[in-house]
Amino acid sequence: MKSQYVDELKSGQIVKEKFIISKKILKEKRDGGSFAILEFTDRSGSIEGIAWDNVVESLNVLSVGDFVFIAGTVTEYNDRLQITVNSAERISEDEIDPKDFLRQSDEDIDKVMTEINKFRAGVSNSYLKNLLDSFFDDKVFAEKFRLAPAAKRAHHAYLGGLAVHTLHILELMANIPSVYKSLDFDLLITAGILHDVGKIYEYTYTKKIDFSTRGKMLGHIIIGYEMVAEKIDRIPRFSQGLRAKLLHMIVSHHGEVEWGSPKQPMFLEALILHFIDNLDSKVEMMNEELRKNKGMGKEWSDYHPYLEREIYLREEI
Ligand SMILES: [Fe+2]
Ligand SMILES: [Fe+2]
């Protein structure tokens, strides 16, 4: 176990600890020397780092995603803590305890899965029910679904994040039929459960949360499409119309081409899935900023690259 975690570091503290390098940008100084802007991460969060000429050479052999042992001092720059790095050396994956780097959900994932399974049990269309069972009766799938993060960084970026995100979507969907009538609720719930299943292969999450090679090449929308299509095709007499609708919901759930969906949502259930998915991911991003900045006395967060804005942090005006 580590003895120093990012969220416990204080200005002036000496650091001698293991982290993952999550950012590395080499820059030239005006006088010709070079320096590096870095970011170090563990299960508790991330902190910026700065390394000057004396250390930059040792950083050349280090890449983003590497585990590293650094020695340095915590300093304050622009109201933020950062580590001024005195030395950095790569360490192997065998020298780390995954628990130090894999953030876990605060929620009890077994309970979350029980709730998801209640929604699953409520699906009455026998073909959709068969399809869901064919996923969740598979123990390997069910365990991966329980463990997977929903992202590397953007939202629910922790073990169990996929299950928590999926349950939020189902809970939000539960109220939809009382407002918007004549929807196919079974289709909505099935797509809610399956929309992000591709994430179980998009990420690796045994030692650290990262993109898998398949994830980088295909992304969870394409992987999820493949997984669902393959299962459907093993169910006799599954209607081609229903197949197309469910697969459309998977491919369109990000809503826009520039957000990774090859098609925009083209019917009501698909539109609703997209907006609920978007709602939950953005609420979680804002909540994460509030959590990260809690107790720091700041009025505004740093610019958030996914939300493309700063977040107002004060609880009282
Ligand atoms: Fe997604
Ligand atoms: Fe999602």
Measured between alpha carbons, how far is 72 from 91 in angstroms, rounded to an integer?
16
Token pair of 41 as six digits: 């991460």
Beta bridge partners of 80: 77
Measured from the Cβ of residue 123, the count of other Cβ atoms closer than 10 Å reads 21
Confidence (pLDDT) at 157: 80
Residue 277 alpha carbon to ligand 2 centre in Å? 5
Ligand nearest to the CA of residue 172, numbered in listed order: 2
Residue 226 alpha carbon to ligand 1 centre in Å? 14
Token pair of 263 as six digits: 């098609």
Ligand nearest to the CA of residue 284, numbered in listed order: 2
Residue 200 alpha carbon to ligand 2 centre in Å? 12
- Residue 55, judged by CB atoms within 10 A of its CB (0-12, 13-18, 19+), counts as buried
CA-wise closest residue to 219 among 254, 264, 271: 254
Can you tell me the mean pLDDT for 101-126? 93
Query: pLDDT tens-digit profile of 43-76?
Result: 888 899 998 877 777 777 888 888 999 999 999 8
What helix, strand, coil percent values describe the chain, rounded to 5?
45, 20, 35
Domain 102-290 -> CATH class: mainly alpha
Residue 224 alpha carbon to ligand 1 centre in Å? 9
Q: How confident is the model at residue 297 (pLDDT cuts 50, 70, 90)?
A: confident
Ligand nearest to the CA of residue 219, numbered in listed order: 1
DSSP per-residue codes, 192-221: HHHTTTTHHHHEE-SSS-EE-HHHHHHHHH
Residue 126 alpha carbon to ligand 1 centre in Å? 26
Instruction: Give the list of residues 6+ apart from residue 222 with CB closer than 8 angstroms, or none.
Output: 198
Token pair of 214 as six digits: 């398949």
**Could you give the 3-state DSSP secondary structure of residue 309?**
strand
Question: In the chain, at which residue ranges do the beta strands (DSSP E only) sit?
Answer: 14-28, 34-42, 45-51, 67-77, 80-91, 203-204, 210-211
Asked whether 298 and 313 are in contact (CB, 8 A), the reply is yes
Residue 162 alpha carbon to ligand 1 centre in Å? 10
Query: pLDDT tens-digit profile of 242-283?
Result: 999 999 999 999 999 888 899 999 999 999 999 999 999 999
Residue 91 alpha carbon to ligand 2 centre in Å? 34
Residue 151 alpha carbon to ligand 1 centre in Å? 9
Confidence (pLDDT) at 180: 94
Residue 73 alpha carbon to ligand 2 centre in Å? 39
Distance of CA 308 to the CA centre of its chain: 17
Confidence (pLDDT) at 199: 95
Residue 199 alpha carbon to ligand 2 centre in Å? 9
The amino acid that residue 127 corresponds to is Y
Residue 139 alpha carbon to ligand 2 centre in Å? 22
User: In the chain, what percentage of residues exceed pLDDT 90?
Assistant: 60
CA-wise closest residue to 227 among 149, 113, 145: 145
Measured between alpha carbons, how far is 74 from 84 in angstroms, rounded to an integer?
6
Asked whether 176 and 231 are in contact (CB, 8 A), the reply is no
Residue 309 alpha carbon to ligand 1 centre in Å? 21
Token pair of 1 as six digits: 């176990």
Residue 205 alpha carbon to ligand 1 centre in Å? 17
Right CATH number for 6-97 from 2.130.10.10, 3.30.750.24, 1.10.490.10, 2.40.50.140? 2.40.50.140
Ligand nearest to the CA of residue 279, numbered in listed order: 2
Residue 165 alpha carbon to ligand 2 centre in Å? 7
Judge whether residue 294 has pLDDT over 90. no
pLDDT higher at 238 or 94 = 238
Confidence (pLDDT) at 272: 97
Distance of CA 311 to the CA centre of its chain: 19
Judge whether residue 307 has pLDDT over 70. yes
Residue ranges per domain, the chain? 6-97, 102-290
Residue 211 alpha carbon to ligand 2 centre in Å? 16
Residue 27 alpha carbon to ligand 2 centre in Å? 36
Ligand nearest to the CA of residue 275, numbered in listed order: 2
Judge whether residue 316 has pLDDT over 70. no
Measured between alpha carbons, how far is 305 from 203 in angstroms, rounded to an integer?
21
